[in-house]
Amino acid sequence: MPITLPERPLKLSRKARPGYVAAYLGGILLLVIGTVLMVWQADGLQRDWKISRNPVVVEDGDVRNGECTTRKGIFTDCEGHLSYVVDGKPYETDVALMFVDIHSGDYLVDIVRSGDAPQLATMSIGIDKLWNRLGLFAVLMLFTLGGGLVLMWQGARNMRAASVLSRPTRLSAIPVSVESATKSGRRTNYTIRDPAGRRPKAKFIASFRSNEEPLMLQNDKGEVFGVAVKHPATPVPVLLDSELKRLDLTLEERMAATASIPG
């Protein structure tokens, strides 16, 4: 690696350690959204699945406050209050359903009840779009609950790494792939990967302030790569800044390390 670091235990500055609060908060938010969606749609999907096995159209039912709203051009949610009579006994229920559709204009619906359990009723569009709704529900659960769990795992990983990286130790400089850079307010978040690490496909985030730049070099093939340091007790690489201020170096050590970087 074309950079020379002192052969003594080094400590990383606090701003160099991976953040975990944002990952935890993002994970909690996605889990809450997923839970709300599950409460909102799961019972209705289960009800309509039962109705679909023996559907009966109600001829003289009434749909009140029926309304469908389309968002982003394809996401539609419909709701309404259903009232109907079966064998002289009145029934009422509220229906809320969501599906993907490219549609303009109104939806014409009937009331459909279960032939086995007359208290179960829905709008006919709920049966027509049942597989559509099940697919959308699965995707949303994967994105929200699955994504929330992934973010929580990343937060836990980064919290452990931050604790380890706060302790001085011999650090080794390694090349890392810089996959992307994303602006977030006054910060730029770089997605990096350690191709030679235990998990070469794992991606990590390095956050830099507006007055910082990552240390980037070029190899003999003209390929640009980032320079990071790695603690022996964690797989999380830490991308260095171009002035090496993320390491607790003395002035002489910083000058020597900077001089070792190819111009």
pLDDT tens readout for residues 99-139: 998 877 778 889 999 999 999 999 999 999 999 999 999 99
Instruction: Please name every residue paired with 172 in a beta bridge, in sequence order, or none if there are none.
Output: 230
pLDDT for the residue 195: 86
Instruction: Please name every residue paired with 257 in a beta bridge, in sequence order, or none if there are none.
Output: none
pLDDT for the residue 125: 92
What value does the CA radius of gyration of the chain take, rounded to a whole number of Å? 28
Q: Which two tokens stand for residue 83?
A: 């009232």
Q: Which two tokens stand for residue 77?
A: 């949610």
pLDDT tens readout for residues 207-258: 888 888 999 988 778 788 999 988 888 888 889 988 888 888 888 988 888 8
For the chain, the domains span 29-141, 166-259
Q: What does pTM read for this prediction?
A: 0.67
In angstroms, rounded to a whole number, what is the distance separating the alpha carbons of residues 8 and 44? 63
In angstroms, rounded to a whole number, what is the distance separating the alpha carbons of residues 102 and 128? 14
In angstroms, rounded to a whole number, what is the distance separating the alpha carbons of residues 263 and 218? 10
| Category of 185 on φ-ψ map: left (φ > 0), alpha (ψ -120 to 50) or beta | left
- pLDDT at 15 exceeding the cut of 80: no
